[in-house]
Amino acid sequence: LKTISDINELLVSSFSIKNIVENSVKRLIQQEEYSYVWIGLINEYNLEVVCEHKNGLDIIDELTYSLDKNYDDDIVFNLSKDSIDNDEIIIKQLQRTLNKKSWAITIPIKITLEDSTKEVLGNLCVFSKLEDGFLDEEIKMLEELAKDIAIALNSVLQQTKLKALELEKISNYEETILAFVNIIEQRDSYTAGHTIRVAEYCKLIAEAMEIDADDVVKIQKAAILHDIGKVVTPDSILLKPGKLMPLEYNLIKEHSSAGYEMLSKIKMYSDLAEIIKYHHSNYDGQGYPHVDKDKLDTIPILSHIMMIADAFDAMTSNRIYKSRKTIPEALEELRLNSGTQFHPEIVKVAIKVLADVTIQDTSQMPKNELEKRRFAYFFMDSLTDLYNEDYLKIEIAKNETKEKFFVMLELKRFSKYNENNGWKNGNLFLKEFATLLKKRYPNALIFRYRGDDFVLLFDKKIDILESEFINLPLLKDKNIDLSVRTLGFNGVVPDLFS
């Protein structure tokens, strides 16, 4: 009775299957008359010996038995299998080595399910050295003990299932959220690399600030999700490779609050939502959302870190309308805006840890057919399939130090040709002329300019003469001439738009 009482007390404080079986077996074997105790649990089609303690006898030949196989010479397993298969207690006297007789009792460990059916989890097997074997009251107590073990095991199994369901729920949430991130990355190739880089920069800064390890993990997760609100941003704005107009910029600013609204409704992401909400709020309260000066402490410190990491990556990434800054230039920009846009203490740390990072070579130029179509939507002339005037402005605005040369081809008397032959034939001519230019100058960027003129951009000086075009059938037959102007620039933008 004392043994059973002790085991029940241990079962109450056991929080794992291993503890339950070990505590039970270890306490039972302390009974001097018990020579061997073991518990086996069913795992699929196997009976696994999960715990055994012996007091002078070696009984079991295997540690894992297949319930589908026969083990003719293994009396112990056959007893256990019969007990499990028939859901009954079996007691038998066994003849073992050295002519020592032993009594064995094997009891199913089973639980009652919600539909009142029984499920056998395994078995408890006890060997006794006493000549008369097990007393009736002893058998009843061991049976009750098997039931108590089953209840304890079932409790742990249910907790394990609940934990598994919770983990599955978390996993489903994460998969759903990451699916949204993937949607954005599929829409905007720049964002994919951007989020990973910002996460890495956040980690470097946070670790250097000796921020708690849990918060380091938190800001990395938030960084991966910080642009998730862009899922509601119209394609015409999100995918625009060029500089945004004021109205477009106001619309894209909504992504911070949109991301917050999405994530704050999910309990496991609510703390990340707060970080994301303020990652464009300046240290002085300006930015978006705007924060009143008496409420600046509502901006989380992790948001300040993310803002600096986000800005640093934006400055050191190539955009189609401007080249990236060098690391020293970007860090100087952080320093100049310290105390207004950026948190001054974080800037000091960022300047140190970001000075030695390796900047990846990024580009917003199209890399696949889908991106080429997106690119064409913004920067290709729909009639001639040449670059349009917007892209020409971007090329000029780059103002790179490397010398380039513009050649402008201005069509003469084309308006008259349009009047005489109609717009349809005029458009056909422009398409044919564009095809001719692409064939003759495959190494040039070619732009349609002001409707009926064309600009060719070369990396080196190219002499193109008007005489090369005078006798071309395409022009001669239509009584169209052209003039040629060559403009080189090296840090000085030519005045093409005057």
CB burial of residue 164 (10 Å; 0-12, 13-18, 19+) = exposed
Give residue-wise pLDDT tens across range 51-95. Answer: 777 766 666 667 788 888 877 777 778 888 888 888 899 988 876
The list of the chain residues with pLDDT below 70 reads 1-17, 55-61, 95-101, 114, 166-167, 169-173, 183-192, 239, 241-242, 320-321, 362-366, 369-375, 397-402, 488-498
- State the pLDDT at residue 3: 60
What are the two backbone dihedrals, phi and then psi, of residue 90, each rounded to the nearest 5 degrees?
-120, 130
Give residue-wise pLDDT tens across range 174-204. Answer: 777 777 777 666 666 556 688 889 999 999 9
- State the pLDDT at residue 302: 97
- State the pLDDT at residue 92: 86
pTM of the model: 0.59
The answer to whether 453 and 483 are in contact (CB under 8 A) is: no
Helix %, strand %, coil % of the chain (to 5) = 50, 20, 30
d(CA 479, CA 491): 39
d(CA 41, CA 29): 19
- State the pLDDT at residue 389: 86
Instruction: Count the neighbouring beta carbons within 10 Å of the beta carbon of residue 198.
Output: 27
- State the pLDDT at residue 12: 47
Interacting residues of 333 by C-beta distance below 8 A, sequence separation 6+ = 311, 315, 325
- State the pLDDT at residue 351: 97
- State the pLDDT at residue 392: 83
The answer to whether 383 and 431 are in contact (CB under 8 A) is: yes
d(CA 159, CA 366): 51
SS3 408: strand
Please state, rounded to an integer, the average pLDDT across all residues of the chain: 82
What is the Rg, in whole angstroms, of the alpha carbon atoms belonging to the chain?
39
d(CA 87, CA 107): 8
- State the pLDDT at residue 494: 53
d(CA 41, CA 49): 7
- State the pLDDT at residue 485: 87
Interacting residues of 260 by C-beta distance below 8 A, sequence separation 6+ = 229, 273, 274, 276, 277
- State the pLDDT at residue 488: 67
Query: CA of 131: how far to CAs of 59, 80, 95, 102, in Å?
Result: 18, 22, 12, 8
The residue behind tokens 């007893």 is: 79
Closest CA to 173 of 221, 107, 207: 221
DSSP states along 349-403: HHHHHSTTPPPP----S--SHHHHHHHHHHHB-TTT-SB-HHHHHHHHHH--SS-
d(CA 89, CA 108): 7
CA angle, residues 119, 37, 50, in degrees to nearest 5: 55
